[in-house]
Amino acid sequence: MKHFYCLLLYALLLHAASAQSPLKWDYPCKPGTDCWNALTSVDERQTACQIKGIDLNTLSTEELLLITMEHPFFRSFVFHDSPSEGFGFAVNGFNGYQEFVTRKDAVRTLVEVYEQEDFTNVLQISDTIEIGEYTLKWTGVELLMMNPALLDRMSREESIHYLKRLHIKLIAKRQLNEFFGGTSFAASALIYYRLATNLGFTLSPNVLELDGFELFKTKLIVTNNRIIELLLDDFDRYVKRN
C-alpha cells in the first residue's frame, strides 16, 4: 500500500508540474525535470522551491496564494497521518506562503479565490489523476483556510460573513461527495469549530467530550465521524438561523 501511495504522489507531482503557469513567478525546478531528479532529499527539493530572483513585495497577495497552490508539495498532505501536520510540513517553510499569511488582505483574498472556483468543474474531468489533483488542490486551500493565525485576526462581522460564504461551498461539495473526500469535510468542520469558538457560539451538547475530539481539533485526524456530523449539523443550523 505504501508503494502505491508513493506512485500516486509521483504521478500527481508530474501532472501538476506539466501545467503551464501564467503567474508572474514560476518554480524553476519541477518534478520530472533533470533539475529535480538531481536533488537527493526532500530538504533539497523544498529549498529549490523557494521564490528567488524577485522581490516578494512586488507580488500581489493573490499571486502569492496562487503560487503557493502550485507548490510541488502542496497536495502531499494526503500522505501524512495528520493532514494539518502534513500541510504544514509542505508549506510552512516556503517563503511565498510565509509572506502570504502576513498580508492584511490574506483572508479576503483566500475567500475570494476559494469562492470563485466552480466545483462542478470536476465533472468535466475524465482522467483519475487529474481528478485527484483537482480535489486535493482545493482541499489544500481549505487546510490553509483553517489556519488560526488567519482566523483569529478577523472581526466578528468578517467571521460571520466568512462562515456564510464557506457554507455555500460546503453545499456544493455535498452534491459532489463522490469526488471530495473526508478530509475536505473535516476541514470545513474544523474551520466552523474554530470560528464558532472565537464567536462564542454554543455547540451541540457533548461534541467536545466525544472520543477523538482532541485529535480532530489539533491534528485534523478523524477517528470518530460523529464529530464531523455534529459540527456540520451545527453549521447548517447556524446558517439557517442567520
For 43-93, the pLDDT digits (tens) are: 999 999 999 999 999 999 999 999 999 999 999 998 899 999 999 998 999
**How far, in Å, CA of 138 to CA of 169, rounded?**
11
Q: Is the pLDDT of residue 16 over 70?
A: no
User: What nine digits make up the cell of 234?
Assistant: 451545527
DSSP state, residue 197: H
DSSP state, residue 37: H
- Phi–psi pair at 200, nearest 5 degrees: 80, 25
Burial 37-52 (b: 16+ CB within 10 A, else e): eeeeeeeebbebbebe
Angle (CA) 184-119-92 rounded to 5° is: 45
Q: Is the pLDDT of residue 235 over 90?
A: yes
Confidence of residue 183 (pLDDT cuts 50, 70, 90): very high
Confidence of residue 210 (pLDDT cuts 50, 70, 90): very high
Q: Is the pLDDT of residue 8 over 50?
A: no
Q: How is the chain split into domains, by residue range?
A: 2-241
Give the mean pLDDT of the chain.
90
Residues 98-155 have pLDDT tens digits of 999 999 999 999 999 999 999 999 999 999 999 999 999 999 999 999 999 999 999 9
Confidence of residue 21 (pLDDT cuts 50, 70, 90): low
Q: What is the pLDDT of residue 166?
A: 95
Position 212, amino acid = G
Q: How many residues does the chain have?
A: 242
Q: Is the pLDDT of residue 18 over 80?
A: no
Q: Is the pLDDT of residue 4 over 90?
A: no
Q: What is the pLDDT of residue 13?
A: 52
DSSP state, residue 20: P
Share above pLDDT 70 across residues of the chain, in percent, rounded to a whole number = 91
Task: Determine contact, residues 150/195, Cβ cutoff 8 Å.
Answer: no
0.85 cut: is pTM over it?
Answer: yes
Q: What is the pLDDT of residue 1?
A: 40
Confidence of residue 23 (pLDDT cuts 50, 70, 90): confident
Question: CA of 22: how far to CAs of 35, 70, 96, 133, 152, in Å?
Answer: 21, 11, 16, 18, 32
